[in-house]
Amino acid sequence: MVRCSALPAALVALGSSSCTAFVTPLVTRVPVAPSTTSMSLKGPAGRSSSPINKAASVVGKALFGRPGGVKMGNNNNDGGMMGGGNGNINNGGQGSFDDNEEEGRGMDALAMLGVLATVKDGAGGAWDAYNSALADKPILVKACTSFVGFSIGDFLAQKGTSKESFSYARLARMAAFGFLFHGTISHFFYNALDSALPGTAAMTVIQKVIIDQVFWAPIFTLIFFTWIGVTSGASPSEIVAKVKSDLVQGVVGSWTVWPLAHTINFKFVPTEQRLLYINSIQIFYNVFLSIIGSK
């Protein structure tokens, strides 16, 4: 068996071949030539010795090894699938996969490695593009991030809990709040908080969480209910009644989610990435906000 240390050599061999050399053998492998007597353990004669085929064979052995074989017959030439005792049976009817099988498995493994590398490169490119845009236009990017987070949150709330027909007006109100208020205000609030309390020491993190949940959470919830009321056509007295009725529920709901989330946030997440992290959690919290804001 070829050890897993052979894998780097396989990848080096792979790099020396063209993209075409990778794709063609994968799609059109050379079939095993039929034999009138037995299946050769060394594979068919004349098999391609290109670098990609060699690499595939090495990878197949490194990842899968040579299996002990499967019992295909016996030692009495009784007509087993691979021929009973014709020289291809090892120790009591145990046959081994040929090198072409290892090469085929190696091709599959290399294909999977290629797919994973492509996904990784694509994700890395998207992440780099996001960070570049964030550095160039931080307020706009954070506003758009909150726009997406609040849109998804309301969509999930309506699809998962509402028995009424889907309201695009409600979706627009939530999305606009994310874009106009949550993203922009949060940019300034968290930048100011990090400037006033720099660092990630335990006491600093605790202070930030307290400020966020004791002072900022009620203000944020008040702004949210006011926006929903105004854009829904509610009168000032109806908005006041809504705030009195649901403000405490909204803040208490915040306390069930955000203290732990913000402990992680203020301890590990850089300032410029805070809103992306918040919105990844806010999507699910927005389901709660959408429900109490629209009831």
Question: Which token pair is 87?
Answer: 């020289």
pLDDT at 236 over 80: yes
Q: Which amino acid appears at position 137 of this protein?
A: K
Question: Which token pair is 159?
Answer: 């699809």
| Mean of the per-residue pLDDT values of the chain | 74
Question: Which token pair is 107?
Answer: 């091709």
Question: Which token pair is 162?
Answer: 């509402």
What residue ranges do the domains of the chain occupy?
6-120, 137-294
Q: Please name the residues in contact with 276: beta carbons below 8 A apart, sequence gap of 6 or more.
A: 130, 145
The pLDDT, as a whole number, for residue 7 is: 44
**For range 15-33, the mean pLDDT:** 44
Question: Which token pair is 78?
Answer: 């009784």
Q: Please name the residues in contact with 93: beta carbons below 8 A apart, sequence gap of 6 or more.
A: 71, 72, 73, 74, 75, 80, 84
Asked whether 218 and 251 are in contact (CB, 8 A), the reply is: yes
pLDDT at 168 over 60: yes
pLDDT band at 129; cut points 50, 70, 90 = very high
Give this prediction's pTM: 0.59
Q: Determine whether 61 is exposed, middle or buried from the number of CB atoms within 10 Å of its CB (0-12, 13-18, 19+).
A: buried
pLDDT at 151 over 70: yes
